[in-house]
Amino acid sequence: MQQFKSKIQSVIKDTSLRFFETSFNQVGPSSLMMIRIGKDDFLMIDQDSALYQDLMGEEIANQLKKCPTNHANRLVLNEYFDFTNPQAFGKNVATIGLGDRLGLASPGHIQTVHDRQIKPVLAQQSIRELELTNRNIEDVIDAASYAVFREGYRGGFGADGDHLKKESDIKKAIDAGFSMLTLDCSDQIDNSVTQLTSEERLAKFNQLDSATKAHYQEKYLGRSFNVEGLSIEFDQDILSYNVLLYHEAIAYMVHIYQTYIEPIDRPIDFEISIDETETITTPESHFFVANELIDQNVDVTSLAPRFIGEFQKGIDYIGEIDRFKVDFREHALIAKNFGYKVSVHSGSDKFSIFPIVADLTEGLFHLKTAGTNWLEAIRLIGMKNPELFRDMFTYALDHFEEARAYYHITPALDQIKPLDQVNDHDLPDYLNDDNARQVWHITYGILLTAKTDTGSPLFSDEFFKTLLNYEEDYHQLLINHIGKHLDLLAIYKD
């Protein structure tokens, strides 16, 4: 490695040159390593070989090529280094989604999980998040794959097409190589059913075709199911409620699985999301949905119910912990009965319930986080660039209502301490205040895409420059913060 580094240094005289030594690999006669010059990362390779020829780039010396870390070269890495490809993890290992909205957090995430018994889903973005940050599906896997290569991480990582609804987006995610698909069925769940009386529900149920009614009545009506010691029963009202609420959604789940997942010749983790709704998932509802899917041979890896209480973005669980424990136990038993994992969405910072999740799932769960990594980036800005922090937070407050349209949060804006009453040293403490955290959390897209009157970036250039200048500090913040999640989930360091 030292000889290769010396060869690069003899050609690249830039004082900002940085080597990522954990990325060093030898492929036949060629040495390969990731470097950074200024703010840009490159792959450096020497000695003629198939890999040397396949990587696109500029030959800057005899048999020494500087290659951009672009999409095309990521695909080349995927061919030669299997550990840079996303993989499915299945049902028998704990997993954590670590959505990286910035494309910079994955090295810190990798450093956090590499010595713990949990698998990371590093590439995890919803279409909404991509639109708000002007990124695309390929960008997400590119960033994760290069991070894995840079860190020399061979423990495996996943890529989740998160909360996908449209078939066109599902196809894009699968074609791009995503190893996990989270199907958001909120558009197919008829929440108006919850507002009907028992009589109205029965009348609407009776309007269904005779074959559908017969199917559900023969299968569930008057029956009691023993689920790991939990008794699940369906009278006519409970049955009518669940058929009307979920019948269309179940049909869509089956269609997506049979059309897009079952024919694929590689493993894909299939997660069902019925949590993006105001309708709390009862044990009967969870069982009903799962039972229908399993009976139709849909291989479910994980399922996300809508739990009681509130899972608002970026803050701890809101609700009675004892009630949550009773509710979660029932969902955990149902998941265990059918052999898949319970998935906890909006799982960032839900510290008070993590021990319950770990205990009642016996350490087998999926947890999604995303925005909390953006918040740690903002904490870094507060520490290292206070003027930028102040400008961004002022802008975030001014555009709060615009961002709120995308999220359910309930911050008390009048309880946020005014910026002019806070000295620079205390700015990071804003990230310890739930009200300020939620303002920061939901305005990421507006802040990252804001423009001046002349059309140039208002904040993003300086924001990313600061993160790169203090990259190791950012990664340490992630190690501490995500590490706290994992400690409370009883996923300790080896």
Residues serving a catalytic function are 162, 271
Q: Which of 211, 138, 129 is nearest to 173 (CA)?
A: 138
φ, ψ for residue 330 (rounded to 5)? -65, -40
CB atoms within 10 A of CB 395: 16
CB 162 within 8 A of CB 270: no
SS3 (DSSP) at 90: coil
Type and span of the H or E element at 121: strand 119-126
CB 37 within 8 A of CB 43: no
Q: Which of 139, 128, 100, 132 is nearest to 186 (CA)?
A: 128
DSSP state of 60: E
Report residue 485 as tokens. Answer: 């999640």
Q: Across the chain, how many H-helices and E-strands are there?
A: 20, 15
> Residue type at 309?
G
Report residue 114 as tokens. Answer: 């590499």
Please compute, for residue 434, the number of CA atoms within 13 A of its CA located in the half-sphere on the CB side: 14
β pairing state of 64-68 and 119-126:
unpaired
Residue with tokens 């470097």: 35
> Residue type at 130?
L
> Residue type at 106?
S
Could you tell me the end-to-end alpha-carbon distance of the chain, in angstroms, rounded to an integer? 29
What are the DSSP E strand ranges found in 335-378? 341-344, 365-369
β pairing state of 269-273 and 180-184:
parallel
β pairing state of 40-46 and 58-61:
unpaired
DSSP state of 345: S
Residue 327 burial (C-beta neighbours within 10 Å; 0-12, 13-18, 19+):
buried
CB 396 within 8 A of CB 446: yes
**Cα 181 to Cα 6, 77, 160, 289, 302, distances in angstroms:** 44, 23, 6, 18, 10
Report residue 12 as tokens. Answer: 């690249």
